[in-house]
Structure 1
């Protein structure tokens, strides 16, 4: 009888210790692999804790996780991969995941080369000219010092005083604000292309009257806009979910 009780107590203690080991988050170190690209800047997201990490230039990452957690591996032009972690994944060997690119198959591709016809050859723009948006062009014009030849000046040339005038008059600050507004409008348009209004209401549980405000709230977040620039719908939606939770807390506080 004593032996039986001892065995039972030992089993309970052993099971408790084993359970405790699996319940404590540990650092999972791993590496992403690809056949066609350097796996730098890929996202590793723990869907349970909502923690996100980014791979370094070698594709390596480190993230807190435990047995049973689901990790999402995501990047632009690659299929999202979900992995449910087991105890074997926390061994001495490096945890590795092979990323699969998204291949768009076309029925037929016909290529006709017209290399001699372009905006430069047609005289529309000078060679090697950088393209700017309307707001960027205005800001560049207002802040650039443009040396011009002048035989009557002592130094053999003169410099436009427009940038100094614009700085003192506040026009430069105004143009910088215009550039910020233009970028936000671009981000808002990108969101409209990715998700319709029903997605915000049904998926993120944002009230209809607050959807527009939530979009502005999202594009004010620098971390989010960096993700949005990559046009990765999976990661964008994940971060929108995080922002939606915070935004609903703000709404609740305002309605008290």
Structure 2
């Protein structure tokens, strides 16, 4: 009788021990963000923990408990603890929340210019800053006194302004090329070494046919001319070696 009672008590103790929660170790990961500060809640017991800077946490749990992972930066996630989790550790990957941006409205103001505002007569040629300085220095019709062209010719200022105008024109051509091809595309499509991409752009900007194709927006001709210019540029590089 005593022996039977002892067995019953032993079984009860074993069941009680099995029912007690043990410390569950776990780690939270994410593909894009650090996972520190994530709340982990045991829905069964309301016990909670917070992940450390590396995403690790410990929490009393047992097989069958439901854990909830919550954070302002991640989508809420639930999982049920398994025997494997208790034996080793629990690994959870969270998905970052997708932040919806408010609608962005882009207004087109390209129709607003000096002419539409009545600042210059309709149909009058529009000058860039460099063109305006060059025209003022070179032509007396843009200078009522008529003296600047002579003074500038003597001082050499006109030549300097011509260089500035050509430099601005070349920069505009380079900017138009970069609007079509980024550095990676120039390297991949035209086999230009990364170190020489900027040099190639300046070389290509001197080609009048390419400038005309860019002005016309003819992408097929631009690609054809760029390929030919790249081939010539690479030959020049090889000749210099």
* Structure showing greater Rg: 2
Q: When the two structures are superposed, what TM-score results if normalisation uses the length of structure 2?
A: 0.49
Under a length normalisation based on structure 1, what TM-score does the superposition of the two structures give? 0.47
